[in-house]
Amino acid sequence: MVPSTMAQSAASSARSKFALAASRLTRFDQKLSAPDASTPTRSLSQVQRDQLRSLWAKVDAEFEACVEAITEVDPEGVADVQGMYDDCYAVYAQCLAELNDQLEPPTVPHTPQLAVQVPTSGGCRLPPCDTEVFSGDYQQWPTFRDLFTAIYIENPRLAPVEKLFHLNKKTSGEAHDIVAQAPLTNEGFASAWSALRERFQNKRLILKAQLKILFSLPQIRTESAAALKELQRAVHKCLTTLNNSEVSTDSIFADGVLVYLISAKLPKTTLELWEQSVTNKSEIPTWHAMDKFLAERYLSLEVTEDGHPGMETQAHSRASLPMSERSKGIPTLSVPKRALLQGGFTLSEQLWIRSGERVIFAPKRTIRSGYALNSFR
């Protein structure tokens, strides 16, 4: 259906009025931010802020009328008008923030006479705190939620529409799509923030995401300090995310599942040492106990890896040799007969004692060193 001439004329008139209102606000901002503009007094800044709000109210009203008028005549033109509106709002928000800063400078709390005075010449100025852009990662939601609340939502100098403007700037991807559905008005912020919390503060989805990470942890094939440390940090990150999202992990069942899952990822020697460290074999070990064990284990591996590079490779290569060849290249010691007898060894036993390997003919007492005992005095 071809739009009537009257409808086209009304749409053109509405577009012109909206453009004029937006132009007035933009020129007002340019006048205030001109390089030769003098610093206004507090009273003048208040008048300018009232004028700015009046201009924005006119822009907002003309925008609504313009969209209503051109929807039937030129639906594709709505996007252009929306773009002009968003650009104009960015100018308005920046100008309003500057005027607010002039009218409400930060107050300095009174310092008692007996308080320690910090020298101004030696002080350092901290950088401004801000939150990163939130794209929809469940693990980042608690951090983004708390930071955005502290910096923007609890800021009494920001109007709800300004908070919504910053929320649009601080979101991307799916999170931004949710926020963009709310109209850029004072009422729109509450609905946008509520929708964002409902979507990403979903305990069931958060638990599902963290379980997926835990069950996808890689198997550690070799005794590596770096691999154990990475495994432990991955578990810590998942547990922290769950706790921050108010998903409880404090139960015997949770400990049992987590310990079983992580045990299956450990290399053979570390797993054997873990089982040896469990004193009560009939009770379910806690994650706290395993966490402490993993920390001690990777610290021990770091010491041995740094002090004896290639030692593990040499041990494996020697283990593959015939029994008669394993003693070649190993320094020997002559041990007094009395010392052996006092230590619980019998002279009929041939002892091969090497770091990281088991004794071939098990004596009553095992000594671990880097030597083979092959002669007696």
* Closest by Cα among 65, 87, 58, 52 to 159: 52
- Would you state the pLDDT for residue 362? 42
Is 113 within 8 Å of 107 (Cβ atoms)?
no
pLDDT at residue number 44: 82
Please tell me the predicted confidence (pLDDT) of residue 5.
78
Predicted confidence (pLDDT) per residue in 113-144, tens digit:
444 444 444 445 556 678 889 998 877 888 89
CA-based nearest residue to 279, from 269, 294, 270, 289:
289
SS (H, E, C) the chain: CCCCHHHHHHHHHHHHHHHHHHHHHHHHHHHHCCCCCCCCCHHHHHHHHHHHHHHHHHHHHHHHHHHHHHHHHCCCHHHHHHHHHHHHHHHHHHHHHHHHHHHCCCCCCCCCCCCCCCCCCCCCCCCCCCCCCECCCHHHHHHHHHHHHHHHHCCCCCCHHHHHHHHHHCECHHHHHHHHCCCCCHHHHHHHHHHHHHHHCCHHHHHHHHHHHHHCCCCCCCCCHHHHHHHHHHHHHHHHHHHHCCCCCCCHHHHHHHHHHHHCCCCHHHHHHHHHHCCCCCCCCCHHHHHHHHHHHHHHHHHHHHHCCCHHHHHHHHHCCCHHHCCCCCCEEEECHHHHHHCCCCCCCCECCCCCCCCCCCCCCCCCCCCEEEEEC
CB atoms within 10 A of CB 173: 12
Per-residue pLDDT of the chain (377 residues; tens, 9 = 90+): 455 677 778 878 888 888 888 888 888 888 887 777 777 787 788 888 888 888 989 888 888 888 888 887 777 778 878 888 888 898 888 888 888 887 775 554 444 444 444 444 444 555 667 888 999 887 788 889 889 999 999 988 888 988 999 999 999 999 999 999 999 888 899 999 999 988 888 888 888 888 999 999 999 999 999 999 999 999 998 898 888 778 888 888 888 999 999 999 999 999 999 999 999 988 999 999 999 999 999 899 988 876 554 444 444 444 444 544 444 544 444 444 444 444 444 444 444 444 444 444 444 444 444 444 444 43
Residue 252 in tokens: 């015997």
